[in-house]
């Protein structure tokens, strides 16, 4: 097992006007045994960063260190890593047993018997023992992904690298495999880097999240740190489902003059903002409440656009009145019990706490 250090790593593709900076001067330390999830929108540089750790892509600048070794010059085989991809990447003409044995035969000095034993016990652990003599074409997507994971585990590598491994599975299977990968990672204690654009995977799988946007590191932290203490507006809007609502405005003394309503800042918040600056106020859908009548606090009027009942809660999409403006649909999460109908007029109460202030655009 091993720690991983990414030191000032940049990756550029193309040249001149075609140049793309896929990863922009990123540094991080990943502890031995840690499970770290790279999350960000499509094109944010997650796969490129992972592929550089794998040795499938060479960084333009910086160092990658696995354990005590600078691996810049080492190819993927010499790095003692195992990768799991979205498309499984199994050899179609080989049985499961052959798929799982192949890497061991190529890169270890293990005897035939030792290899057979390891394949058997890993297949047992992964619940794929009965499939050992099948070929990938004879299996479901979920079974193939289990085999792909088994093939990574059987190699007993220093590091697991996983690139969107669950994206091709249906929702139920994805949820099952999420739990399974968490359990395996915990039991095996192998340092794991995992790429996803999926909120739920990010929040439920990693010890820490690495949030990326446009090749730049936005925040590293536990899922709860990123959720409750987002480092910037990008992280605030990206982490959490449905997304945080934002109001644009500026500070004026102890008040935020937002488009459409005023928000009285608490003392704690006043101390953190400069007077007369542009700010955005962020509030999560679950921290807002809807009232039939004005409640006398920080609030504004809105009209209900769409109600999405989700069971125990409903997502209420609103059209703010009086020019209160947000870029995205404005969403309030309500207790599913409260009857609410489209075109109803409501008062949206913005709480005194659980709001986030960011620099304005
Ligand atoms: P993500 O995994 O977050 O979707 P990628 O790492 O795949 O993002 O891509 C980051 C950026 O680098 C994107 O702008 C992408 O188009 C670009 N990129 C990735 N691979 C290549 C490549 N081989 N050649 C040129 N540009 C690439």
Q: How confident is the model at residue 87 (pLDDT cuts 50, 70, 90)?
A: confident
**Average pLDDT over all residues of the chain:** 91
Among 32, 7, 31, 57, residue whose Cα is nearest residue 163 = 57
Residue bearing the CA closest to ligand 1, atom 1 = 43
Which residues, 6 or more positions from 252, have their beta carbon under 8 angstroms from its beta carbon?
Answer: 275, 276
Give the model's pLDDT for residue 252: 86
For the CA of 215, the closest atom of ligand 1 is 10
User: All domains of the chain, ordered by start, with CATH?
Assistant: 4-238 (3.40.50.300), 245-359 (2.40.50.140)
Residue nearest to atom 5 of ligand 1 (CA): 45
Distance of CA 43 from the midpoint of ligand 1 (Å)? 6
Select from 43, 46, 165 the residue to mutate for testing ligand 1; criterion: most ligand atoms less than 8 Å from CB.
Answer: 43
Residue 346 neighbours by CB under 8 Å, 6+ apart: 290, 291, 292, 301, 302, 303, 304, 318, 340
Structure ipTM:
0.99
Of the listed ranges 43-47, 198-202, 251-255, 322-326, the least confidently predicted one is 322-326
In contact, 290 and 347? CB cutoff 8 Å: yes
The arithmetic mean of pLDDT across residues 25-42, rounded, is 98
Closest C-alpha residue for ligand 1 atom 26: 13
pLDDT in tens, 105-127: 887 788 999 999 999 999 998 89
Check whether 47 has a pLDDT greater than 80. yes
Task: Tell me the C-alpha distance between 324 and 215, whole Å.
Answer: 33
Residue 361: pLDDT band (50, 70, 90) is: low
- Ligand 1 pocket check: which of 45, 52, 194 to mutate, most ligand atoms within 8 Å of Cβ? 45
Work out the average pLDDT over 163-177: 91
pLDDT at 324: 57
Helical (H) or strand (E) element with 335: strand 330-335
Spacing, Cα 189 to ligand 1 middle (Å): 30
Q: Do β-strands 191-196 and 345-349 pair in parallel, antiparallel, or remain unpaired? A: unpaired
Question: Which three-class secondary structure state does DSSP give residue 295?
Answer: coil
Measured from CB, residues less than 6 Å from any atom of ligand 1 are: 13-14, 20, 22, 40, 42-48
Q: Is the bond preceding 308 in cis, omega lying within 30 degrees of 0?
A: no
Ligand 1 atom nearest the C-alpha of 45 is 6
> Nearest residue CA, atom 23 of ligand 1?
13
**Ligand 1 atom closest to the CA of 42, numbered from 1:** 4
Nearest to 51 by CA among 70, 75, 67: 75
Highest mean pLDDT out of 57-66, 126-135, 254-263 = 57-66
**Alpha-carbon span 311 to 30, nearest angstrom:** 39
What would the pLDDT profile of 297-332 be if each residue is shown by its tens digit? 888 889 999 999 998 999 999 987 766 555 567 899
How many Å is the Cα radius of gyration of the chain? 25
């Amino acid at each position: 097992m091993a720690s991983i250090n990414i030191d000032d790593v940049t990756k550029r593709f193309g040249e001149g006007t075609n140049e793309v900076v896929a990863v922009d001067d990123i540094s991080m330390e990943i502890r031995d045994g840690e499970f770290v999830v790279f999350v960000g929108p499509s094109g944010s540089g997650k796969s490129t960063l992972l592929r550089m750790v794998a040795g499938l892509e060479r960084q333009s600048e910086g160092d990658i260190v696995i354990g005590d070794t600078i691996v810049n010059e080492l190819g993927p085989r010499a790095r003692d890593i195992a990768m799991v991809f979205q498309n499984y990447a199994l050899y179609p003409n080989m049985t499961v047993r052959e798929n799982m044995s192949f890497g061991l035969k190529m890169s270890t000095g293990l005897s035939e018997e030792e290899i057979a034993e390891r394949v058997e016990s890993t297949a047992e652990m992964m619940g794929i023992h009965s499939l050992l003599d099948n070929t990938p074409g004879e299996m479901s997507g979920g079974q193939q992904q289990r085999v792909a994971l088994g093939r990574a585990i059987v190699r007993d590598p220093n590091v697991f690298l996983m690139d969107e491994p669950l994206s091709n599975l249906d929702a139920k299977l994805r949820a099952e495999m999420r739990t399974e990968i968490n359990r395996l990672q915990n039991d095996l204690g192998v340092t794991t880097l995992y790429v996803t654009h999926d909120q739920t995977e990010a929040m439920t799988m990693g010890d820490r999240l690495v949030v990326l946007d446009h090749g730049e590191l936005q925040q590293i932290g536990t899922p709860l740190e990123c959720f409750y203490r987002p480092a910037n507006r990008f992280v605030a809007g990206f982490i959490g489902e449905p997304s945080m609502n934002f109001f644009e405005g500026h500070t004026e003394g102890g008040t935020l003059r937002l488009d459409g309503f005023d928000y009285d800042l608490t003392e704690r918040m006043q101390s953190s903002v400069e007077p007369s600056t542009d700010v955005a106020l962020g509030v999560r859908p679950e921290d807002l409440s809807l009232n039939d009548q004005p409640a006398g606090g920080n609030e504004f009027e809105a009209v209900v656009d769409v109600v999405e009942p989700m069971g125990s809660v409903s997502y209420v999409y609103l059209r703010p009145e009086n020019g209160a403006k947000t870029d995205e649909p404005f969403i309030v999460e309500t207790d599913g019990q409260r009857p609410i109908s489209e075109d109803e007029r409501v008062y949206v109460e913005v709480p005194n706490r659980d709001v986030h202030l960011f620099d304005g655009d």
